[in-house]
A and B are shown apart, each in its own frame.
Chain A
Amino acid sequence: EVQLVESGGGLVQPGGSLRLSCAASGFSFSSYWMTWVRQAPGTGLEWVANIKHDGNETSYVDSVKGRFTISRDNAKNSLYLQMNSLRAEDTAVYYCARGGSYSAAWGQGTLVTVSS
């Protein structure tokens, strides 16, 4: 069974940093692109970033470029999102998802709240 489990969310002050993790199991993690998608409270889905299966190619939405870094450790079957210079508008549930285009497998999400 494919499983994606996010962790690392929480309350952080504006300007602060947080690192999200996504533990993958049930599939060959190193063979798949991976993606982070977020959803602010009461709003729709926003694609954040994706990363190639070998980690050598990444893409970001403009609103997080220069602040967020997506990475992966294929030996640990894990995906990461390092978030720096956090803003109130980054408050959202962050989902990791399998695939770099559409995603058939999603985690349950981890909530990030940016507030003083």
Chain B
Amino acid sequence: IVLTQSPGTLSLSPGERATLSCRASQSVSSSYLAWYQQKPGQAPRLLIYGASSRATGIPDRFSGSGSGTDFSLTISRLEPEDFAVYYCQQYGRLPRTFGQGTKVEIK
């Protein structure tokens, strides 16, 4: 399954709302979709699994939604620490696949 994320880069200011998109080439079964955040020099951090369930310790300003082939990650109000690269991943089929990433940068 090919995952296509858009936009490639999102330029926003702290306090603004961010909406990231992830589109799958085939339906993702049972909403087996996850979102990760990655900062430079760090390992990815799990934010969302099952399309909409927040991982342990993830602030509620992060929310995930969608089903089938269209998914989104929303950050309700950007904090300075949220500027990073975000990846979606499907785990409904093998091989697992990641999107190419969306960079959220400070405007």
Contact = CB atoms under 8 A, between A and B. Distances in A.
A103 B32 contact: no
Given A44-B87, A45-B87, A106 B43 contact: yes
Given A101-B91, A104-B46, A108-B43, A47 B34 contact: no
- SS class, residues of chain B in contact with chain A: loop
B43 A102 contact: no
Contacts of B36: 45
B36 to A, nearest CB: 8
B62 to A, nearest CB: 14
A108 B32 CA distance: 25
B98 A106 contact: no
Given A45-B98, A47-B95, A101 B87 contact: no
A13 B55 CA distance: 40
A107 interface: yes
A60 B95 CA distance: 7
Nearest to A104: B46
A29 to B, nearest CB: 18
B64 to A, nearest CB: 12
Contacts of A54: none
26 contacts: A37-B44, A44-B85, A44-B98, A44-B100, A45-B38, A45-B44, A45-B89, A45-B98, A46-B98, A47-B95, A47-B96, A47-B97, A61-B95, A62-B95, A95-B44, A100-B91, A101-B32, A101-B34, A101-B49, A103-B46, A104-B49, A104-B55, A104-B56, A106-B43, A106-B44, A109-B43
A102 B49 contact: yes
A103 B94 CA distance: 15
B55 A44 contact: no
Residue among A46, A59, A106 having the largest count of chain B Cβ atoms under 10 Å: A106
Contacts of A91: none
Nearest to A109: B43
A26 to B, nearest CB: 14
